[in-house]
Amino acid sequence: MLKSKEIANALYEIEAIQIRPDRSFVWTSGIHSPIYCDNRLTMSYPKVRKQIVEQFAEIINGMDEKPDVIAGCATAGIPHAAWLADYLDLPMVYVRSKPKGHGKGNQIEGKVEKGDKVIVIEDLISTGGSSIDSALVLQDVGAEVLSVIAIFSYGLNKANNQFSDANIPFTTITNFDILAETLVEKEEITEAEKVDLLEWRDELGNN
Ligand SMILES: O=P(O)(O)OC[C@H]1O[C@H](OP(=O)(O)OP(=O)(O)O)[C@H](O)[C@@H]1O
Ligand SMILES: O=C(O)c1cc(=O)[nH]c(=O)[nH]1
């Protein structure tokens, strides 16, 4: 079984989670948010990043089809993709958010071939835009994207709809609902504040 609660707890313990009630965090999608989950900090904690790799591997072990290649989304997905590819002894690539403006002009770095089955590793899914874009770039070169897998998702309807429209499965190790419960248990937020946060998330999905 996935250690969703343990990973949410680890993110809290390494102070990857920050709350600003004035909603002054701005997400990549432009959404103004009262919460930011900085999974990049996991790089600095070998025990936590190893737990994450093991959880990614467990998700992949449970899949019917197995990947030929692990792909990281630039930039925050790249280190996790690298550790996972190493753990599974598989080739790795990474996908830039846009083609490089000099050199070879690549958007995909590393070798992926037509027909390769690929797992896309992302650190976090808000709207899903970044990881879906990476998956589409891989599909454009003929790769078969088995799934996007991320550490954390906010559970926005927009992400669910975008993944469904693109016909790309996605899974995460942990999510906002589990994290919000963890924050209450840690007395970081009250039950009422948790309800407000979840309502805020649910309202975002209607936009
Ligand atoms: O699901 P989305 O709405 O696309 O949001 C999630 C994306 O936002 C963050 O990346 P960011 O753009 O901050 O860049 P980085 O990975 O280079 O830090 C995060 O690492 C995801 O890639
Ligand atoms: O949507 C984003 O840009 C985003 C949200 C978040 O909590 N953490 C992060 O790294 N990016």
Using one digit for the tens of pLDDT, what is the confidence trace for 1-60?
Answer: 899 999 999 999 999 999 999 999 999 999 999 999 999 999 999 999 999 999 999 999
Nearest-angstrom CA–CA distance, 17 and 186: 12
From the CA of 123, give the closest atom in ligand 1: 20
Which of the four pLDDT bands, split at 50, 70 and 90, describes residue 206? low
* Ligand 2 atom 10 nearest Cα: 38
Work out the average pLDDT over 153-181: 98
Structure tokens at 178: 């589990």
Which of the four pLDDT bands, split at 50, 70 and 90, describes residue 97? very high
Separation of 167 CA from ligand 1 center, angstroms? 20
Separation of 113 CA from ligand 2 center, angstroms? 31
The answer to whether 180 and 194 are in contact (CB under 8 A) is yes
pLDDT at 205 over 80: no
Nearest-angstrom CA–CA distance, 21 and 197: 9
Nearest-angstrom CA–CA distance, 111 and 155: 32
Structure tokens at 199: 């309502």
Q: Which ligand is nearest to the CA of 41?
A: 2
ipTM for the complex shown: 0.99
Separation of 26 CA from ligand 2 center, angstroms? 8
Work out the average pLDDT over 152-174: 97
pLDDT per residue over 103-162, tens digit each?
999 999 999 999 999 999 999 999 999 999 999 999 999 999 999 999 999 999 999 999
4-204 maps to CATH 3.40.50.2020: yes
The answer to whether 28 and 123 are in contact (CB under 8 A) is no
Work out the average pLDDT over 161-174: 98
From the CA of 26, give the closest atom in ligand 2: 3
Separation of 190 CA from ligand 2 center, angstroms? 23
From the CA of 31, give the closest atom in ligand 2: 1
